[in-house]
Structure formats: C-alpha cells, structure tokens
Amino acid sequence: MGCGLYSQVKSYARLGLTIRDNELYIDIRDNGKTGLKDINIKKQYQGLEKELVKWCSKKIVRFYKDIVCAGDNLEKEFNFETGLTEIKKHEKDPKVDRNKLDNIIGAYAIAYVRELPTDTKTTPYMIYIDRNRIMRAYNASPTKEKTIWNLDTRKMVLKTASWELYNYFKPFIEIPIELKKDWETTKDEMNWETGEVIDVVVTETASDELISFDEEVEAEPTQAIAEEDIPVANPNYKKRPF
C-alpha cells in the first residue's frame, strides 16, 4: 500500500472509514521473502460505497446488489432516454442453491442516482458481471483452498460486482484537496491478473478474503463515524454539498 500501518490508520480516520462499521478489514500475509508478516488495512465494499456517497459528483442515494443463477428469469433492457441498460425483471428460481458457484451465472450492482437536486426519482446505474468475470476473480484468489469463496460464494461474487461499480464511478469522484493524499495512499485496486501471490494467513478475524457482508436491502448506507476513533486532522472540514 506504500505506507506504514500507523500512517494507514491515520489516513483512514481522516477519510472517515472505520473497521467497526465493516468498511475496512485487516489484511495479514506471510511474506515468503522476509519471513515476516505484512499487515495492511484495506477497504471492504461498504467503504467503497461510502466514498461514492460522500465524494461522487453524481448524487448516489442507495445501492442494491444481487446474483443471477441458472434457472432465474432476468430481463435487461436498454433505455434510450438515459443511455443506460436497466434490469426490468429478476425472478429467482427458489429451487437453486444460490451459494453454489456452479449455479451462479452472473451478478449485478446498482447505484441509484439523483441526477438533479430537484429530482424526486432516481436513475439506476447498473453494472453486470458475467460468469467469465466471476471465475477470473475466483481463480485469482491467493489461497489454494478457496476457503471463503467456497463457504460464502454469493458474498464474494457480490464483492466483485461492487468493485466493478466502484470502478465505473471512479472518474466522478471529487476528493477534497486536504484529503487527496490520504485517498491516494489508501487507494486499493481489485486487480485479479497481476501481482505476486504470497501465502495468506486465513483467520477468523483477518484475511485477504474474509469480508463481512450484510443482507442486501435497498437502504441508504450508514455514514456513522465512531466517536472513539482517531480524530480527523481537520475537524472543521465539512462535506462538500452536492
């Protein structure tokens, strides 16, 4: 990540992201070259969504994610008025095991955007990932046993869809000048094709794959910041109005 653990803690605190709110997780890996452990703090999908809500120039009010399994009836339609592809129907096959990788053929993540402050309705920006993209994420997982993927397949697929949605909106993120350096030093990438794979310590509380997911509901994500967390460097800073 390019900075020490203490610097990471301070940067994330200034950005308003916390482990308590499931926005961050601890990544502990065995470094085969040094014989030591590499410890980093990384963003969970909740942290990515919080960044988008706070700093995206498009006013995102909520998110929704789901997987698509064989046997589902999914209808997508291109909207010529907005220039976006939308999901018109998703009927789920109740007989399918939705946490089995062999049954999952796709997934989608939606950000609901209020284009103008006067709008009463939102515009759904949807990202769809296919089976090929899912398997690329699965195969690039550093652990040979794929423990978390096998136990929580659905959640890991949703994580992948969330990253793709975040990457779509990344050009619209406007970070305040005083937080630019913190955001740059903590910026993570979900790059499945590159990078040296090293052994990962998989524990109940720390793993490169162990991600805490809540049930997916159409609700505005929390922006609560724990009072006991490290105070921000600029306490007088106010969130940019949309």
Model pLDDT for residues 128-175, shown as the tens digit of each residue: 999 999 999 999 877 777 888 988 899 899 999 999 999 999 999 888
List the chain domain ranges. Answer: 46-175
C-alpha span between 228 and 234 (Å, rounded): 16
- The answer to whether residues 111 and 60 touch, using CB atoms and an 8 Å cutoff, is yes
Position 116, amino acid: L
The reported pTM is 0.69
DSSP state of 68: E
pLDDT tens sequence for the chain (242 residues): 446 777 888 888 888 888 888 788 787 777 888 888 888 888 888 888 888 988 899 999 999 999 999 999 999 999 999 999 999 999 999 999 999 999 999 999 999 999 988 888 999 999 999 999 999 999 987 777 788 898 889 989 999 999 999 999 999 988 888 888 878 877 766 543 322 222 333 333 333 333 333 333 333 333 332 333 333 333 343 444 43
Beta strands in the chain (DSSP E): 24-30, 37-43, 59-69, 73-79, 84-91, 104-114, 123-130
